Amino acid sequence: EVHLLESGGDLVQPGGSLRLSCAASGFTFSSYAMGWVRQAPGKGLEWVSFITGSGDSTYYADSVKGRFTISRDNSKSTLYLQMNSLRVEDTAVHYCARRGIEGATNFDYWGQGTLVTVSS
Amino acid sequence: QSVLTQPPSVSAAPGQKVIISCSGSSSNIGNNYVSWYQQFPGTAPKFLIYDNNKRPSGIPDRFSGSKSGTSATLGITGLQTGDEADYYCGTWDSSLSAWVFGGGTKLTVL
């Protein structure tokens, strides 16, 4: 059974940093691209970042480009999101999600989410 | 402002059918498959429809999807109170090199 478990969410001051982790199990992690999607309180889904299975290619939403870095450790089946220069508007539940089969335009499994709160 | 446009809310009576629309452009819906997600309050999104009209294992056939040009729709028949949730469409945008979602539609089963 596919399982994604995020961790690392916390309360942080504006300008601070945080690293989120997503531990994956139940599938061959290196064979799947992964992404981060966030949801601000009372708002809709917002895609944040995406990384291919090998980690060779990464993509970012304009709202986080230059501040966030996505990475993965396939030996540990873990996805990361390094978040720097955090802003109040980054406050959201952050979900990690698995992209479907190669070339798919969907996320077929989602974690339960971890809350990032940016506030002074 | 979301790249994909959905109505904020829809409603229908139990047992009835509802259609949720998702409008985009040639760089996203027009040239890529659309997926749909169901989200209950306080929970993670659930994968509902992929490749415009395919259902993952375990999703009842009351849920259906379709696409025409730069628009897609999610249909739900035989509405149940348990279907009350937020529904999101999503796809890849080839021009933006970004995943895009609709703003979400809140379904109320009256």
Mean pLDDT across A36-44? 97
pLDDT at A103: 78
Two tokens, residue A7: 């961790």
Mean pLDDT across B11-19? 96
Handedness of CA A109, B49, A65, A30 (dihedral sign): positive
The string of pLDDT tens digits covering residues B48-60 is 999 999 999 999 9
Looking at the complex, does the CB of residue B98 fall below 8 Å from at least one CB of chain A?
yes
Looking at the complex, does the CB of residue A112 fall below 8 Å from at least one CB of chain B?
yes
Mean pLDDT across A23-31? 97
Q: Report the residue of chain B nearest A108, measured CA to CA.
A: B47
Following DSSP, what letter does each residue of chain A receive, concatenated? Answer: --EEEEE---EE-TT--EEEEEEEESS-GGGS-EEEEEE-TT--EEEEEEE-TTS--EEE-TTTTTTEEEEEETTTTEEEEEE-S--GGG-EEEEEEEE-STT-SSEEEE---EEEEE--
pLDDT at B1: 81
- Residue A55's pLDDT band, with cuts at 50, 70 and 90, is very high
* DSSP single-letter state for residue B54: B
Q: Which of residues 45-84 of A touch B (CB under 8 A)?
A: 45-47, 50, 59, 61-62
The string of pLDDT tens digits covering residues A8-22 is 999 999 999 999 999
The string of pLDDT tens digits covering residues A68-109 is 999 999 999 999 999 999 999 999 999 999 998 877 889 999
* DSSP single-letter state for residue B15: T
- Residue A40's pLDDT band, with cuts at 50, 70 and 90, is very high
- The CA distance from B81 to A94, in Å, is 28
Query: Which member of B46, B51, B103 has the closest CB to residue A44?
Result: B103
The string of pLDDT tens digits covering residues B29-83 is 999 999 999 999 999 999 999 999 999 999 999 999 999 999 999 999 999 999 9
